[in-house]
Chain A
């Protein structure tokens, strides 16, 4: 199972982004292979806020949230007290931003590989969870080419 940071999922919305191709290919492949993606429910607010500020369009921001809620492979994890405490400890011990630490805490609790485009998040979370970039995750998931 995988936890995708918002830096990955957010880019799947925007074809203009230089990282769109890798993020889109990864999310499509996870969907195709019915591999569960476990993310904190915080993702919804992050995506809604970013799209609202970018487009100045509250309707599309809500629509984006609805699409994430409706994607069959995406499992949204509510932040309970234990998870928030774990994220706080991770943020304190590994000098991660609060939102970044929340994704790490979710990945660790559910035994997921954390996929992120944020190098700092990947490097600092590495002692706790397996981390990789979207391109690295794609290389792992795609079947080897026949020789």
Chain B
């Protein structure tokens, strides 16, 4: 996972493989013209703007007299990563040099943006919202349709529009390579292709497009040696990858292979089954025989196999119940089962209807080889009505059936289907925060 992210970031230019030439200039210290506190400028020659960590005054670092742009306006806000904190992320050491706290236009959603700096690699951002983190680099090229279209393509990958809105700066500290101040508003649009996200920020003067990649909070905690509890994830992030994507794909491959094997076993069984009839007969049961047990003639089952007992009767708007016992003549072992035949029909409300059937069938498993008889106890409402009941019976052995196959297939697919539902639910939660939810994830919204 880490390697894949590294590769993706490298391809995107977020992590450059060979280090570029280090820019000239050492960190410069100067005193805040407002409170006298010491300010250390890390990105000398690049930063245009610093916020005093002591009094929060905003200072123009391009002015040789360190002109105050904005006087102290607020108390210093505690942040998870302090200015000056260093950490190794994606194999490169970064230092936190700036922080902005932003909200949407309605101040419903808050997020933190940490500006990172490395003298060889320049600037990156770490963005934290609702416990989810992104490692972000500003792109130095245009992405056609960004901010306007509902879908954009970057490096051959499609990114779907997730949100359009406004970002408002609520708090700043540290130094910045652009001029930033509290209350500044920008138009924002986010496009996602998890785990990547493209963000567009636009104001009257400029447009910035950046590429971010999702990072697990644990990786941030390790990189910057954060000992405090990381913010809990409270929502699915727009570009949060579903867990174990490769495993999920491979699971369906395994399921497909297993299903192919199950099909092969089933068709082989069907092709090689004897499916032989060992007994067949029809007889009429008269009312005096009601309550008596009828025994069939002896028949032979040559080897252990399943047995299918099929019965049928031409009953009409009547019922028939059968207690059957297959008896091994040598061992007297009995295999008992019940069958019910019910068939009703009529004409009601201008329509013909019918229910039930005039036949029934039952399987017996693993019946050993031997000579057998079938005992039949029968009761039926047709005895009184018709003066007798015609019963037809057929017994077959080694009959192909589908029930084992269906159980095996259900067993194979139950877990992948559960995982599929879980994934759908994950995506539904992701898109629940968006105004551009694809139709497939909108089911509950319409009910609400």
Indicate whether A and B interact. no
Residues on B lying within 8 angstroms of A by beta carbon are none
